[in-house]
Amino acid sequence: MKRVVIAGGAGFIGSHLCERFLSEGYEVYCVDNLYTGSKENIRHLLEREKKFHFIYASILDPLDIACDLVLNFACPASPPHYQKDPIYTARTSFEGTRHLLEMAKKYQARFLLASTSEVYGDPEVHPQNESYRGNVNPIGIRSCYDEGKRIAETLTMDYHRFYGMDTKIIRIFNTYGPRMLENDGRVVSNFIVQALKGEPLTIYGDGNQTRSFCYVSDLVEGIYRMSIKDNFVGPVNLGNPEEYTMRQLATLVLELTQSSSPLHFLPLPEDDPKRRRPDITLAQKALGWSPTVPVKEGLKATITYFQKRFFG
């Protein structure tokens, strides 16, 4: 039986990963300080799974858990949360990643870093492939996260080269699904909550900026395949290449929720990317992975979750 440490395991994506690795026979150690994670996301595992262990801890402190695999998903990932304390966010990406790398090195464990499409910034290349080095503002209000993830990638590759560690990097594009926070400031949860409340749907800019939305089960499948893939470091993009404007997404959410909420336009935030779409050619070739859940079906499941969780 293998042991996996999932830092940020009580979060949106992390909790789904805990379930997946348990289903694959792993003993799972979920490490989380509940900064944006929630025990509600893992309560069913705590009550029923003997191979599941929750450790309340911050990765800003050194950890010592004997393991075979370390997944680093511990970082606030939505603008309201990572901008709330930007120094904490930057420290989480650098110091926290270093602590997890040191633990993985001690136990000769494989290490996987959850990086982000934000390393590409407001891209001048479209769609974005892994060789694109990005267009990132190093001193903007988003840079604590954008540059934090870039330095986390640097650390991960330096441990790989300097110590010969088995490391991996994934770059996650917009992901949505059950267990998203209702107040996380991401566009899918914003639109759904506003539509269900009958409030205006907030669109920043003219609504023609684009994003690509990957359902969480598809992402988890890609992460799992990457985690067990030998001799492949990455980085590799994981996301859905189907592109939507914010107007299109808002219209679809209104249709699925049967809401009559109007659209409300606000100025575009600083350094907000105009277009975002992954080139997943490498993931398709190296991992045999492509997303399978249509956005409309994923949104239906996510809306049902929000209806039951917050409006039931």
SS3 state at 34: coil
In DSSP terms, 244 is beta-bridged to 211
What strands lie across the sheet with 167-172, from one edge to the other? 52-56, 27-32, 3-7, 69-72, 110-116, 167-172, 236-238
Place of tokens 């039986």: 1
Taking the mean position of all CA atoms in its chain, how far away is CA 225?
16
Contact 104, 72 (CB under 8 A): no
Q: How far is CA 166 from the centre of its chain?
A: 21
Report the 10 Å Cβ neighbour count for 33. Answer: 18
Closest to 101 (Cα-Cα) out of 52, 32, 151, 55: 151
Yes or no: say if 152 and 115 are a contact pair by the CB < 8 Å rule: yes
- Judge whether 224 counts as a catalytic residue: no
SS3 state of residue 169: strand
User: For the chain, first and last CA: distance in Å?
Assistant: 40
Give the Cβ contact number of residue 126 at 10 Å.
14
Annotated catalytic residue within 88, 145, 176, 244:
145
The DSSP secondary-structure symbol of 94 reads: I
- Residues annotated as catalytic are 145
